[in-house]
Each structure stands twice: as C-alpha cells, then as structure tokens.
Structure 1
Amino acid sequence: MNPLSHIKKNIILASKSPRRQHLLKDLGVDFEIRTKEVEEVYPPELEREQVALFLSELKATAFTPDLTDNDILITSDTIVCLGDRIIGKPKDRDDAFNMLSDLSGNKHEVITAVTLTSKSKQHSFFVETEVYFKTLSNFEIDYYINKYQPFDKAGSYGIQEWIGYIGIEKIVGSYFNVMGFPVKEVYEALDEF
C-alpha cells in the first residue's frame, strides 16, 4: 500500500511539464492534469524566492473557482537565478545561447515553489538548489540548443539532459528541484496537507 493512500482526495497537477508529471506519477500518486494559460507577471520589488512563490500561487488562483471540496490542486513555478538576476524561459535561440553563456563557468540557484490548494486552505513552500556549471564552449552550447531545443525550460537547460551530463560540476541540494519538482518536499507536504 502506498504511504500516501490515506489521501482520499482528487489530486490535480496543473502543469504541462512532462518532468513534473513523471515525478509525481513515480511517487505513486493518482492524479489528473489540468492546465490553463496564466500570464506570468510579478511585481518587480519581489525578492527571488518571493517571485517563485508569487507565480506558483498566481497559477493556483486561476483554478480556485473550479475546485470542489474533494480536490487538492498542485501548482509550481521554477526560476533560475544568477546573482540577483532572475533568468526565465528563453524567448528564442539567441536568448537561450546568451543564457547558457552567462551560466557557463558560474554558480547559479534554482528555486522551485510549490503550492497545494484546496477549497479551504493553501500551503506554499520553496526549495533552493545551487548548481555549478563548468565553462562551456560555444560548440557545446550550440550542440545542446540544436539537439534539445530547451525553450520550455527556465535557464535554457534541463539537468537530466546532455548539458547536465557534461556541464554540471556539482549541485548542492535537491537534484529533482533542478528538474522543476522537489519530490521529497512535495511528498511531505501532501502527507501533511
């Protein structure tokens, strides 16, 4: 019996991300997928962690009117931070190249916020992981962008792809957080929700 089988609610994952879907499925959780387009705009004065939390909660508000008493909604947002600069998803190929060039040879942070929402309550949290990239050559960056098309990923990369294999020297914190879904913390939050 799955340790989360005591949850007798309808769990909804509000994400198009195949990585998040895969990781939640591997927790042994039965869930459905619902998505809505939400314009990811946040107040400029927010701190880095607050941005991820704000966006995760903003996504939840799009679904709140549709929730029943039996639903638990999971929303999340991942941002990449290089110093105080927040790096989102690339607009195009040139933007992806510039992002990866900036991350090359540097440490950055990946912050994922997750929000659990029901009709009666909401719980949000974030997880931060440090990622250290080796110095990447232009050839390596071009190869990765051409082969993997990382245009749907914050920071223009997926740790679970080729660039992660050859480019990441070390991480401090959760590997799955860098994939965009801090599985251990999601498990614990669901267990307590």
Structure 2
Amino acid sequence: MDSHSNGVDIYLASESPRRRELLEQLGVRFRNVEQSVDETMEPGESPEVFVIRLALEKARAGLAASPRDAPVLGADTMVVLDDEAFGKPRDQAEAMQMLERLGGQSHRVLTGVAMVDSYEEATRLSVTHVTLRALSEDEREAYWASGEPADKAGAYAIQGRGAVFVEHLDGSYSGVMGLPLFETGELLGEFGIDFLSGWRRA
C-alpha cells in the first residue's frame, strides 16, 4: 500500500492547516477530502471517548467521499480542564474567560486519531498535560487582538504566539497542535504506508 495510482498515500479528512503542515513534515503524500460530522458530545460521554469517536466519524465520512484507493486519516482535539471541555471560543468574552481559567494550572489536551480504509479501522489517543502561566487582563486582550485565539480549542495556539504563555508541557507537542506524529506514524505503519522511503529520496 506504499504507492497508489493517484500519487497519494492517504486522504486527510481535515481542513486544518496545522495538520497539513505536520503531515508534510513527515513527508506523507496526501490530499484533503471534505467531510462533515455532528460534533456534539453525547450525554455522559467522556472527553477521551468523544475525541476518538469524532476522529473515527471524520475518517469514515472522508472515506465515503473519497475514491477509496487510499486510507483516510481523521483527527479531533479537545482541551480539558477538570473534566470540562474547552472548544473554540464563540467570541472575545469567552476567549478571555478560557484563558483566565486555564492560566496558572495544568490542563489536558486530548487528540484522537483514526485511520480507515475499505477493510479496517484503527484509532489512537494522545494525552498531553499543558501548564499555562497566569495571564494578566492586558496580556489576554493583546493576545485576542492578534487574531490567533479565535479558531483554537482553549483559545490558544502552542505553535504560535501562545507558546510564550506555556510554562510546562508533558506529552506530545504535535498532539497539542492537532496531530500527534508518534501515533500517526503508528497508524501509517499499521496500514502499510512506507513514508520513510521519501526521506531517502530527499
């Protein structure tokens, strides 16, 4: 499965530029495939189960929309503090509240990754503990004005300006970005995708 007639190794069921950058970093040949799933948590569903379920549903939806000549990768990321999920802020006020609550303590960043093809499905879960230092009101307002928090879970981006607020990280940096490369590499290997061959040609 390490070569396909369409010149891709996998399809990516995500429009996230960060996930695209991380796949490019690995040297994986991919194309985006459109998908749409309901991202509502079910009653009593834990954050860990939710991100895995959503990653799998995205991958399945991507498979249904693709030519089915290569596996489809889906992912979902959630910021969790004391079992409360933090999604993307609806507005500035919610972003300010998120950053205030996350500051000065450790939270979890969960990223579920799933890969599917016409024959099998596989999933992985990445759990990273991140500690943000306490942010002043001026810092939070300046950060919002930068435009970066608006479309980020938890209202911060570790790969951007938000990195200056990260005091400690225990786990996967790429997982916090939205695609844990260790777990993704495991899935690629499980589906027989030899992305390392591209490194030898580089």
Using the size of structure 1 for normalisation, the TM-score is 0.91
Which sections of structure 1, spanning at least 5 residues, go unmatched? 1-5
Q: How does 1:36-75 map to 2 (within 5 A)?
A: 36-75=35-74
Ranges of 4+ aligned residues in structure 1 off by more than 4 Å: none
Structure 1 distance, partners of 2:89, 2:38, is 15
Q: Which amino acid aligns with 2:168?
A: K
1:62 positional shift? 2.1
Which sections of structure 2, spanning at least 5 residues, go unmatched? 192-202
Q: Which amino acid aligns with 1:171?
A: L
CA offsets per residue over residues 144-182 of structure 1, 9 Å max, x none? 1111332221111100111212x1111001111111110
Query: Residues 17 and 115 from structure 1, CA distance in 2 versus in 1: closer, same or farther, beyond 3 angstroms?
Result: same
2:35 is paired with a residue whose SS is coil
Aligned to 2:155: 156
Indicate whether 1:170 and 2:183 are aligned.
no
Identity of aligned residues (%): 36
CA contact (8 A) 1:67 1:118 kept: no
Aligned to 2:183: 185
Structure 2 distance, partners of 1:65, 1:159, is 32
Structure 2 distance, partners of 1:173, 1:70, is 33
2:15 is paired with a residue whose SS is coil
CA offsets per residue over residues 70-109 of structure 1, 9 Å max, x none? 2210000000000110111111111111111110111100
Aligned to 2:32: 33
Aligned to 1:7: 2
1:52 is paired with a residue whose SS is helix
1:139 is paired with a residue whose SS is helix
1:55 positional shift? 1.2
1:67 positional shift? 4.2
RMSD: 1.4
1:69 positional shift? 4.5
Indicate whether 1:142 and 2:137 are aligned.
no
1:22 positional shift? 0.4
Structure 1 distance, partners of 2:2, 2:155, is 36
Structure 2 distance, partners of 1:150, 1:136, is 14
Structure 2 distance, partners of 1:73, 1:177, is 18
Structure 2 distance, partners of 1:68, 1:16, is 18
2:151 is paired with a residue whose SS is coil
